[in-house]
Amino acid sequence: MSMPNSPADRTRLVVILFDGASLGIMSFAFGVFDLAVHYGAMPELDVRVVAGEPDAVMGGGGLATALPHDLAAIEAADLIIVPNWRSPTQRPPEPVLEALRYTHARGGRIAGLCSGAFVLAEAGLLDDRPATTHWAMAPLLAERFPKVKVQEAVLFVDDGDILTAGGGAAGLDLGLHLIRVLRGAEVANRLARAMVVPPHRSGGQAQYIESPVPEPDVSDPVGSAMDWALSRLDQVLPVDELARQANMSRRNFDRRFRETTGAAPATWLTHQRVIHAQRLLESTGLPVDVVARQCGFTSAAALRPHFRRIAGVAPAAYRETFGWKPT
């Protein structure tokens, strides 16, 4: 891979941080890009961290550091990432909003991660466009900015020149997606392997807000029933049977299950079946129809809509990206 010949060949990424931003948030914002430079996947990339307001400091773990660049660095940016904003109900500084509008007008890409989507919305960049944010803030985004077409459950939205992502690792997913767009799947997959992360999660994949997966606490009746079900995912498992395993009435079991997991029993069970299917697709060469039956579905056709809803892709496409390959 050749090195860039001149500054004009470089791709400039600007990350805008505000006072009090944490190192953790910063790592989700551009860690994948920084590692792309480190591993030689994108040697032409110029990453700059910019203060979104005067005297902004980021910190974490007892560390605190001033940000090295001001908004003047935005003028040459090809891509701007806004990873967060301290208050979704507070208007960001006007100079930042003006800088975002300027970059967008001249053809630059703008990405907002998590609460950073509110900054893009305040700048008017999300009007009449699909966008997402962290699932817990999605209702507020829709309420405050009714022109935004909020897609609350997806990992990220690529609308061409405007991109948004949910919280946490969804920022990494969006970063790898952008590298795939800029440099191709081979470069993105090589970088993902170096980082020991999945090479591709579709933007349409759910943020898993309806079916969290805590480790079952077998000392608790509900946890014990969950553990019992996890060892029998190839079987028909009526929720009434799980309630009997917990020695509870169905009504009480449903209530306790929601309190424990945040999801209905049937929703959780379907999610576990799909997770099991993912593991089999990754680690075996079993036909998809066999995988489906081993996960409690009657056929590949019965598995497919649930798999697509949760994983964002069909089982065959998932195996093509992550799965077992004959040697």
* Structure confidence at residue 172 (pLDDT): 81
Quick one: CA dihedral 317, 323, 326, 327, positive or negative?
positive
User: Which neighbouring-strand residues pair with 112?
Assistant: 82, 164
Helix (H, G, I), strand (E, B) or coil at 265: helix
* Structure confidence at residue 197 (pLDDT): 64
pLDDT tens-place string over residues 195-225: 766 555 544 444 443 333 445 666 789 999 9
- Whose tokens are 């997991």? That residue is 261
The total of other beta-carbon atoms located within 10 Å of residue 221's CB is 18
* Structure confidence at residue 9 (pLDDT): 64
* Structure confidence at residue 3 (pLDDT): 37
DSSP assignment of 61-81: TTEEEE-SB-GGGGGG-SEEE
Reading the block at residue 111, the tokens are 């990405």
* Structure confidence at residue 192 (pLDDT): 77
Q: Which DSSP helix (H) or strand (E) runs through 197?
A: none
* Structure confidence at residue 215 (pLDDT): 55
Instruction: Name all contacts of 297-305 with Cβ < 8 Å and 24+ positions apart.
Output: 297/273, 303/273, 303/274, 303/277
Q: In whole angstroms, give the CA distance from residue 180 to residue 159.
A: 15
Single-letter amino acid code for the residue at 28 = F
Low-confidence stretches of the chain (pLDDT beneath 50): 1-7, 202-214
Contact 149, 124 (CB under 8 A): no
What's the distance, Cα to Cα, between the start and end of the chain in Å? Answer: 28
Q: Which domains does the chain have, with CATH numbers?
A: 7-195 (3.40.50.880), 221-322 (1.10.10.60)
